[in-house]
Structure 1
C-alpha cells in the first residue's frame, strides 16, 4: 500500500498499468487497492501544483501563526475546524512552539490578507494573538521545484 501511495503522490496521473509494472502487483489488484484507499479516505484528493506566477495570476500567500485560549468545553480541534471553513485558508496545522496553530492563507493582495486577519481571525473569541508572515517567493511546493536556474542576459565581453 505504501509503495502505491508514494507513486501516486508523485504522479497522480500515472496509469495503474505502470504502477503494476513498478510494484510487481497485477493491474487489477492496483486498481482495487486504489479504489479501496479512496473509499476509506486514505487518498483524499488528486492535486495539481500550479505556478500561479507563470500563469499570470497574482496571489499573495501568508503564514499566520495563532495563539489560542482553550476553554473547558473545546480543544484545538474546534477552533481548527472553524478556521478551516474560511475559503482564504489553504491549510491549518497544530504546531509546537510559541504559537498553537499555523494557517496558510491566500488573498488577492496584502491588504486582503491583512483584512482577513484583522476582521475574521483576530475577532474570534479563542484567538489570543496572531503573527503574520507574508510569503515573498516560493521555491518548492508539494515536492515540486518552482524555479529554473536564471541565465544571465549579458553577453560575454571579449578583450
Structure 2
C-alpha cells in the first residue's frame, strides 16, 4: 500500500464526506487519481463502510439500550476463537465483537430497545452457546466520546482570571 493511500485512509477516517476536490488538494493529486484510489480501497475491502456518528441524546426518540458484554469462551480446536465469534456476530442485536486479552476472551457490544430485551438476549441466546463459559454485562449509561468524537464539549471560559 502506498503512502498516498495511507494518507487518504487517515483523512477519510476523520471525515468521509470530504469532496473529491478537497481530497485531491490535500493529497496533491488529481480527482481522478483519488477516485481510483478510493475505488481500489473499497474493492479490496479496506474501506468497508462510511458511517455517521449520531448523538441520540439530542433526538426526541427512545434511544434504546447499549450493553458491553465480556464473554469467556472455550476456543475450538483448529479454529480458535473465530468460530464462536462468528456465531455471536451473526445475531442481529450484536453491533461489535472483539477478541480481547485479559480475564475475558471476547467483548460483545449489543443494542436493544429495553433492558429486558438485552437481558433476554444474554440469557437465551448468548449464554446458551456451547463454547460460552460465562458473561458479564455492562450497560452504557452515557456516551462522552465515541470514535474520537466528543459528544458534549462544554464551552470553555476564555476570560482572563483576575485576582486581588
Q: TM-score, normalised by structure 2?
A: 0.87
**Any stretches of 5+ residues in structure 2 without a counterpart?**
157-164
**Any stretches of 5+ residues in structure 1 without a counterpart?**
152-159
> What is the CA-CA distance between 1:125 and the residue it aligns to?
0.5
Q: Secondary structure at the match of 2:66?
A: strand
Q: 1:120 to 1:150 in 2, by over 3 A?
A: farther
CA RMSD in angstroms comes to 1.5
The one of 18, 27, 34 aligned to 2:38: 34
Matched, 1:21 2:21: no
Match of 2:56? 52
2-structure distance, mates of 1:125, 1:22: 51
> What is the CA-CA distance between 1:73 and the residue it aligns to?
4.8
> What is the CA-CA distance between 1:40 and the residue it aligns to?
0.6
| Runs of 4+ in structure 1 over 4 Å off | none
Number of residue pairs aligned between Structure 1 and Structure 2 = 151
Q: Secondary structure at the match of 1:53?
A: helix
Q: 1:150 to 1:106 in 2, by over 3 A?
A: farther
Say whether the 8 Å CA contact 2:76–2:83 is kept in structure 1.
no
Q: TM-score, normalised by structure 1?
A: 0.90
